[in-house]
């Protein structure tokens, strides 16, 4: 059952077409990876899905509803969370304040406290540092905070943009373990990731974007063994 369907999506920046009529779907409970070189249109695709950039043509359907024209802040209440590229935590606010901002669409305080407890269980370091300013955290901890903040809205679908960017190998492994655990808890994951090898190792299926078009798609493990994918994205 598809939780998200993208059909014939076209996105322009001025006169330049960034996304050229792509179609793909994300099924309930999957981890889907979007991989591709810099400038292939991965981030643009995510930002269009989450209502941050308008599309010129095509439709985006979430749980059977057309969300193509719905603004991003309303999508959060519908169950879509976005972990943006570069983490974007509020540096001058504490870890706890950042997390609470993730729950701005929710009114039930008890439910929010329960979710906070769950986030702290998933990210013990955030609890240890809950009163610390977010700007003083390491890159890996800020990434955990961005993920924890997204989980505070209790999403059904979480969209992650380059979660491992700029992190040490140790943190990269930890972040990917957490993504798998989030998915095991029943959250569907759409992942854009420069580290194609890591992304394909945890994904069910993947789409390869090249200059705004989908060049390849299929089972993630099969793509991992595809010679053209290996050559373009998996060479060390």
Residues 6+ apart with CB under 8 A from 74: 51
Q: What SS3 class is residue 55? A: coil
- The string of DSSP letters for 167-183 reads --HHHHHHHHHHHHHHH
CA angle in degrees (0–180, nearest 5) for 117-158-102: 45
The total number of structural domains that make up the chain: 1
Q: pLDDT digits over 70-100, tens only?
A: 998 899 989 999 998 877 899 999 999 999 9
Residue 81 DSSP one-character state: E
Range of the domain at 108: 2-234
- CATH assignment of the domain containing 169: 3.40.50.300
Query: pLDDT tier at 31 (50, 70, 90 boundaries)?
Result: very high
pTM of the predicted model as reported, rounded to 2 decimal places? 0.91
């Amino acid at each position: 059952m598809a939780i998200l369907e993208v059909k014939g999506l076209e996105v322009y920046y001025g006169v330049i077409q960034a996304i050229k009529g792509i179609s793909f779907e994300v099924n309930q409970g999957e981890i889907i990876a979007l991989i591709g070189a810099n400038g292939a249109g991965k981030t643009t695709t995510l930002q269009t899905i989450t209502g941050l950039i308008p599309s010129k043509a095509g439709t985006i359907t979430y749980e059977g509803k057309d969300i193509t024209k719905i603004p991003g802040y309303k999508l959060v209440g519908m169950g879509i969370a976005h972990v943006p590229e570069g983490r974007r935590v509020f540096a001058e606010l504490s870890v706890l304040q950042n997390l609470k901002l993730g729950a701005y669409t929710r009114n039930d305080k008890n439910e929010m406290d329960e979710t906070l407890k769950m986030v702290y269980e998933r990210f013990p370091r955030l609890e240890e540092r809950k009163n610390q300013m977010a700007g003083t955290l390491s890159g890996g901890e800020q990434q955990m905070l961005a993920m924890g903040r997204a989980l505070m809205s209790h999403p059904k679908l979480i969209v992650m943009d380059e979660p491992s960017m700029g992190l040490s190998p140790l943190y990269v492994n930890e972040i990917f373990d957490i993504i798998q655990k989030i998915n095991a808890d029943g959250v569907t994951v759409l992942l854009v990731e420069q580290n194609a090898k890591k992304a394909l190792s945890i994904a069910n299926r993947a789409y390869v974007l090249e200059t705004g078009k989908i060049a390849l798609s299929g089972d993630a493990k099969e793509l991992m063994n595809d010679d053209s994918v290996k050559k373009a994205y998996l060479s060390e």
